[in-house]
Amino acid sequence: MRAPHGLSAARTVLVNAVREARADKITTLAQALAYSIFLAIPAFFLVVLGAFSLIASPADVAGLIDRARGVIPAEAVTLLSDSLTRSTQSPTAA
């Protein structure tokens, strides 16, 4: 029994796409990109923390911590609060 023309064409397109992706080593590229992004996440958060400590006041920290209380565990709230408070009170902060 012969497949309908649309299904045959879709299968041909799919097979050709997979063949081209393998030839271009797209899976290796995707793995490298995912690994690089994963390693960039901590650096991104450090930059955000640095910028926050330059522009935030202790009142901003208190507001942020109040919003975070229902979302993250109590231990994490304590650690985040201590860290943000120290960073906004450091001599290099504005």
Q: Could you report the per-residue pLDDT of 40-88, keeping only the tens digit for each?
A: 999 998 899 888 888 888 888 899 899 989 899 999 999 989 988 888 8
C-beta pairs of 45-52 under 8 Å, 24+ apart in sequence: 49/83, 49/84, 49/87, 50/87, 52/84, 52/87, 52/88
pLDDT of residue 93: 45
- Model pTM? 0.54
